[in-house]
């Protein structure tokens, strides 16, 4: 049975979705909001899933205490309140809900944009005070102005669409976006300095990272046009608030619209908030009824998917892929994991190096995730470790265990249609003898997906066609008559049925590999007896799971 803790308030629709799922995967939900830190530390070990908004701090201490935790879902975009590196080390999936509040956040930014142009906030305050100060609130038009967008993700892109409808010319800076994408949206991608130099309005939509902290500071303001207007509905801390205040006082910045601040709640006496040309809001970007319902449902569905062993599209500590891309990639990830398990089982000694080669139609994020799946397979079948390994922590665990991993991709077509995955692993020591089957250091394992099903197609250059599942006996030997019959007879004497057999060889009488898919596992005593059969050499038992 799975247990999920909801420690911050979320919309009822999200809770309903969790409870509906509980009927299928035996899941219970506890809603305990406003927990003090000490209380959270006492109870978090009881839960497999945790859903938070911004109030609960999922620190490294909380993660250490959460011995059963498998997934943390943030009902919102930012994960500033979750120690993602600590969760990754423990193999805990961290997910956010980036699409649920896209429109709400975009509309908030655009509202602030309009408010800085027309001084609506100040005019409203004046009217409520009984004044009619028309001359004080002369504004500017958006039409014909250049909008600089810093961060061209979902929200920045949606903002550009609305700005274009108002006759603005959007330009943007985002080091992770291709110019072709921007051009398709009608946006000119340029450098950060050019955004500062050209823009009449600037809207910030970057995440808060060490490299973006105080990115907009005194030096940045000096590069901007006199009278520029600034909007930040992304994350506090990206703008140096002291520098912004000085730029407002000097007139370099004509107005600012701020929904987020470096320290929240903001000091009531903040001179920045009180400045007459600042329109401020208490972090309302996602505060719409529609957005809260969407993020609650998205968080609930992500938790259910993670607990159900499915891939989660919005995991922040895994390469980001769409639901459609993950569905297409799923059999290849299964294949990569099985190849990793097989490589560990058949290698001569601990694996020290692995090269993961993806050949065919593959994107960088696909290759990265496939490599992580292969590392998971390589590591999870090693003995001597009691910590779980999964896609989330496979990379960091590989580093800690001294496994050297390289990743290569090529779009050149391989022997099979679609994508071929190859693992080249280095283990053991090179041969010093003349025996053709003396253990060697390098092993090559190839696989592909045929009709939606993973298949192993080559073992160290010997062609085979094997479904990577269940129990197997694998023997490398010199090709000779009667081998299969002798092994089959021996297995029959133990009451073990052979479900499938595959043989690959280079040439008649040369090196060969025999793979027997069997219905039951074999124990060590059986392995010793089977290994005594004339011609059977380097016999290995392999368990690849479902």
Per residue in 327-367, pLDDT tens? 788 899 999 999 999 988 888 777 888 999 998 877 767 88
Mean per-residue pLDDT, 503-522? 84
Q: Which of 17, 235, 368, 455 is catalytic?
A: 235
Mean pLDDT score, 92-106: 91
User: Which residues span the domain enclosing 91?
Assistant: 2-98+290-307
Identified catalytic residue from 283, 341, 455, 477: 283
pLDDT band at 437 (very low <50, low <70, confident <90, very high): very low
| pLDDT confidence of residue 91 | 87
Q: Is the pLDDT of residue 37 over 70?
A: yes
Residue 274 burial (10 A CB sphere; 0-12, 13-18, 19+): exposed
Q: Is 435 a catalytic residue?
A: no
The least confident of 84-88, 189-193, 460-464 is 460-464
For residue 316, being part of any structural domain is answered with no
Q: What pLDDT does 382 receive?
A: 60
369/299 same-domain check: no
- 130 and 59 in a common domain: no
To the query of whether residue 235 is one of the catalytic residues in this protein, the response is yes
H-type helices in 209-313, by residue range? 218-223, 241-250, 271-274, 289-307
pLDDT of residue 428 exceeding 60: no
Residues 276 and 378 in one domain: no
Based on the structure, what is the number of domains in the chain? 3
pLDDT over 80 (residue 477): no
Judge whether 295 and 12 are in contact, CB under 8 Å. Answer: no
The predicted model gives 232-240 an average pLDDT of 96
The answer as to whether 318 is a domain residue is: no
Within-domain flag for 285: no
Is 477 labeled as catalytic in the residue annotation?
A: no
Verify that 43 and 140 share a domain, yes or no: no
Question: Does 330 reside within a domain?
Answer: yes
Does residue 314 lie within any of the structural domains? no
- Residue 470 belongs to a domain: yes
Considering 55, 264, 310, 529, which one is annotated as catalytic? 264
Angle at 20 between CA 19 and CA 24, to 5 degrees: 105
Of 181-195, 244-258, 468-482, the least confident: 468-482
Q: Which residues contact 35 (CB under 8 A, 6 or more apart)?
A: 7, 43, 56
Give tens-digit pLDDT for 260-315.
999 999 999 999 999 999 999 999 998 999 999 999 999 999 999 999 888 787 88
Do both 54 and 144 map to the same domain? no
In a domain, 148, yes or no: yes
In angstroms and rounded to an integer, the radius of gyration of the C-alpha atoms of the chain is 30
373-395: buried (b, 16+ CB within 10 Å) or exposed (e) per residue? Answer: bbbbbbbbbeeeeeeebbbbbbb
Peptide bond into 265 cis (omega under 30): yes
């Amino acid at each position: 049975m799975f247990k999920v803790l909801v420690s911050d308030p979320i919309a009822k629709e999200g809770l309903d979705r969790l409870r509906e799922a509980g009927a299928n995967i035996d899941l219970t939900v506890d809603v305990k909001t406003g927990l003090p830190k000490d209380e959270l530390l006492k109870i978090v070990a009881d839960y497999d899933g945790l859903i938070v908004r911004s109030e609960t701090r999922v620190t490294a201490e909380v993660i250490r205490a959460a011995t059963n935790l498998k997934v943390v879902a943030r009902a919102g975009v930012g994960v500033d309140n979750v120690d993602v590196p600590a969760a990754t080390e423990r193999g805990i999936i961290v997910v956010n809900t980036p699409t649920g509040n896209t429109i709400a956040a975009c509309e908030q930014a655009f509202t602030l944009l309009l408010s800085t142009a027309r001084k609506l906030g100040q005019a409203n305050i004046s009217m409520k005070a009984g004044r009619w100060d028309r001359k004080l609130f002369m504004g500017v038009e958006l039409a014909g102005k250049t909008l600089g967008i810093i961060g061209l993700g979902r929200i920045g892109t949606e903002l550009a669409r609305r700005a274009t409808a108002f006759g603005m010319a959007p330009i943007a800076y985002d080091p992770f976006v291709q110019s072709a994408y921007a051009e398709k949206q009608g946006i000119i991608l340029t450098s950060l300095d050019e955004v500062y130099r050209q823009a009449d309005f600037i809207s910030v939509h970057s995440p808060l990272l060490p490299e973006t902290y105080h990115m907009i500071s005194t030096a940045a303001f000096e590069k901007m046009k006199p009278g520029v207007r600034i909007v930040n509905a992304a994350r506090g801390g990206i703008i140096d608030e002291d520098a912004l205040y000085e730029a407002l006082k000097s007139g370099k910045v004509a107005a600012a619209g701020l929904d987020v601040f470096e320290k929240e709640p903001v000091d009531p006496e903040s001179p920045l908030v009180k400045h007459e040309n600042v329109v401020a809001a208490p972090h309302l970007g996602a505060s719409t009824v529609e957005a809260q319902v969407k993020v609650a449902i998205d968080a609930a569905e992500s938790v259910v998917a993670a607990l159900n062993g499915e891939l989660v599209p919005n995991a922040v500590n895994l390469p980001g892929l769409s639901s459609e891309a993950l569905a297409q990639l799923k059999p290849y990830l299964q294949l990569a994991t099985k190849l990793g398990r097989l490589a560990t089982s058949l290698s001569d000694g601990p694996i020290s190096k692995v090269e993961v080669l993806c050949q065919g139609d593959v994107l960088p994020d696909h290759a990265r995730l496939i490599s992580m799946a292969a590392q998971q397979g390589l590591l999870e079948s090693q003995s001597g470790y009691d910590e779980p390994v999964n896609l989330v922590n496979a990379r960091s665990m590989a580093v800690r265990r001294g496994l050297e991993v390289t990743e290569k991709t090529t779009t050149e077509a391989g022997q099979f249609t679609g994508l071929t995955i190859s693992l080249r692993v280095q283990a053991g020591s090179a041969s010093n003898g003349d025996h053709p089957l003396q253990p060697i250091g390098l092993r090559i394992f190839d696989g592909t997906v045929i009709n939606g099903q993973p298949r192993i197609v080559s073992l160290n250059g010997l062609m085979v066609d094997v479904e990577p599942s269940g129990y197997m006996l694998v023997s490398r030997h010199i090709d000779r008559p009667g081998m299969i019959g002798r092994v089959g007879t021996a297995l029959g004497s133990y009451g073990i049925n052979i479900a499938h057999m595959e043989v690959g060889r280079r040439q008649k009488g040369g090196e060969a590999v025999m793979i027997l898919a069997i219905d039951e596992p074999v124990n060590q005593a059986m392995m010793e007896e089977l290994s005594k059969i004339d011609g059977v050499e380097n016999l290995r038992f392999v368990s690849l799971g479902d």
